[in-house]
Structure 1
Amino acid sequence: MNTSQRPSPNQQLPRRTFLGLATGIVSGAFAAHASAQAPGAPGQWANPVHRVANAAMAVPKQSAMPMDSPGKAALRRGLDMARQSLEISRSEVNDYTAILVKRERIGEVTGEHEYMQIKVRNRKVSGGQMIQPFSVYISFLKPASVQGREVIFVENRNDGKLIAHEGGFKGKFLPTVNLPVDGMLAMRGQRYPMTEIGVENMIIKLIERGEKALAHEDVTCEFRKGAKLKDRVCTVLEVTQPTQRPDAEFYQAQVFMDDQLNMPIRYVAYDWPSRNGEPGSVIEEYNYLNLQVNVGLTDADFDPYNKTYNFY
């Protein structure tokens, strides 16, 4: 794309559903604990919502089948919580900002944590028409190898491509580029394309995986209240699949539901242990710290010509 022209709209990009991130330029590594750096502060809904702890206790009776094991009954309860959270996100959450801390296994290697400031506008549809496209802005904070990198993606614009530039020394010489979100460069060092980032996409995928786990009798599920991620009080849902099946995507998964926001703010999945009694290795981990909802993001927040950004 000519860097002197703005991106041109094209056909709507099909939306894949998951939580990951693709920026497409070589990823770096930085050893850090997910709960240790970026400051956390409580976000607020536009309207009051029930705390997740209360929601968990108010599941309709018909959602638990009579023959369910305790583990499966608990998982159904967790799925009801997730569906309620998804409905709230779709009806009440227009946008949000957060510090995203992610760690992913690529091939056989689980990388270090990456920190990034994100701005997200949720996709909104009214009367069958899209009135707000799914939009993402990312500014990498660390490690040093990616610090200063910026990425923008807006659904149904720029021929479905993301816009990115490098930071630091490389950013002084390398141009702003337009990349297919699922192309080789955009997917280098990433598990998922940029179209799958975000809390709402994470909720959708959690529901999909939970429903799949319900098909197996040996699945177990436990709740733990009073856990903390930074300064946020959470209810933790832990799902374990003891049997390693071809369609099972994790041995154990933990979901941290923010008790105030009724949103998942941490998801981590572990592989099956190589030996009994040993912990499994991390497959993927996503933390949304300092989550602030309905902050009033505008088109300028997703415009590469924004003077506070460093594109072009």
Structure 2
Amino acid sequence: MTIRSSCDVCFAHSKWCVILLLSLVPSVSQETSAQQAIAVSSKTNRTAVADLKSEHPLDPALRMANASLQNLRENIHDYEAVFVKRCRVDGALPKLQYANVKIRNRKVQAGQTTAPFSVYLNFLAPASVKGREVIWVEGRNNGNMVAHESGLKGMINVNLDPNGYLAMRGQRHPITEIGIENLLVKLIETGSRDRQQGECDVQFFSNAKIRDTACTMLQVVHHEKKDCFDFHIARVYFDQSLNIPIRYESWSWPTTDGGQPVLEEEYTYLNVNLNVGLRDSDFDIANPAYQFR
């Protein structure tokens, strides 16, 4: 089986390789845009858990995700990253989008929210979205996000319902579901549900890499197409140093006999910096570093 997308996976007998092609965009330091191949060699350690009779194949994956979620909620307050995304909508798979992202995780003490979930996005590429800025803060602005485009279209700020037509155009998920914590919660919910639906193939690849970041890659395959399954193949890359997922990708089943799986969505967090001390001003349209009007 060969999967063609921005992440190419090849399996040949006992050997396999993973090649991830990500277009690198200008970061805050304005580095030159380029394209880089990230490879996992055929020597990568692979652990199949489908043969463990004492537990469901998804159980080790669920333990890994739950441990990561606990670590995040206890130790990670906020982070900055370059967010890379694309998702298939109405059958069309667009170009990869890149954005600088700032995220402050929700914090609750004694039943009271001490820090609301907060998001800032500054889009870098492609040209059609470059310069767009978006802010959403849980419980603020009547639940709306505020956004502006670049150029003349950016002369005014627009308040949008995160689940409304304009905000969701070209999206599968609203801004309220962005972030690593939400990804982990979704993984756990999906894995717990799929665990009740029968067997699946689960494998761990311990020497995967996203750029220069050492990762453990978790792969789940549902061979039988069922309405209860969200995907045919899903892969999650856990940063081995930070103990958090930094990439998720999924494919649906081939549309023809002998065809290739269909890439549905992929999300990557590059250059992740944890606990940078984000403040309310980082999620305020009055921040002088931003271009809100």
- Is 2:242 aligned against 1:255? no
Which residue matches 2:200?
219
Q: How do 1:267-286 residues align onto structure 2 when only pairs under 5 Å count? A: 267-286=248-267
Q: How do 1:36-47 residues align onto structure 2 when only pairs under 5 Å count? A: 36-38=23-25
- Is 2:91 aligned against 1:108? yes
SS at match of 1:156: coil
Q: Residue 190 of structure 2 is aligned with which of 195, 198, 209?
A: 209
How far apart, in 2, do the equivalents of 1:99 and 1:252 lie? 25
Q: Residue 137 of structure 2 is aligned with which of 154, 158, 165?
A: 154
Q: Which of the pair is proportionally richer in strand?
A: 2
Q: Residue 79 of structure 2 is aligned with which of 83, 93, 96?
A: 96
SS at match of 1:214: helix
**How far is the alpha carbon of 1:107 from its aligned partner?**
1.6
Query: Which amino acid in the other structure matches residue 212 of structure 1?
Result: R
SS at match of 2:197: coil
Q: Percent identity?
A: 44
SS at match of 1:308: coil
Q: Residue 77 of structure 1 is aligned with which of 57, 60, 83?
A: 60
Runs of 4+ aligned structure 1 residues displaced above 6 Å come to none
How far apart, in 2, do the equivalents of 1:83 and 1:35 lie? 28
1:192-224 superposed Cα distances (whole Å, 9 cap, x missing partner):
111000000000001111112212333110111
* 1:219–1:241 CA contact under 8 A, matched in 2: yes
* 2:122–2:133 CA contact under 8 A, matched in 1: yes
Which residue matches 1:136?
119
**How far is the alpha carbon of 1:38 from its aligned partner?**
4.4
Query: Which amino acid in the other structure matches residue 214 of structure 1?
Result: R
1:115-156 superposed Cα distances (whole Å, 9 cap, x missing partner):
000000000000000000000000000000110000000111
Query: Which amino acid in the other structure matches residue 208 of structure 1?
Result: E
* 2:65–2:188 CA contact under 8 A, matched in 1: yes
Query: Which amino acid in the other structure matches residue 127 of structure 1?
Result: A
Query: RCO higher in 1 or 2 (8 Å CA, sep ≥ 6)?
Result: 1
* 1:241–1:251 CA contact under 8 A, matched in 2: yes
Q: Name the count of aligned residue pairs.
A: 252
SS at match of 1:35: strand
1:211-243 superposed Cα distances (whole Å, 9 cap, x missing partner):
122123331101111111011000110000011
* 2:25–2:125 CA contact under 8 A, matched in 1: no
**How far is the alpha carbon of 1:39 from its aligned partner?**
8.0
How far apart, in 2, do the equivalents of 1:293 and 1:219 lie? 34
* Structure 1 gap segments, 5+ residues each: 1-32, 41-56, 58-63
* 1:39–1:290 CA contact under 8 A, matched in 2: no
CA RMSD across the alignment: 1.9
* 2:95–2:126 CA contact under 8 A, matched in 1: no
| Higher deviation after alignment, 178-187 or 276-285 | 276-285
TM-score, normalised with respect to structure 1? 0.77
* Structure 2 gap segments, 5+ residues each: 1-19, 28-46
Which residue matches 1:180?
161
Which residue matches 1:294?
275
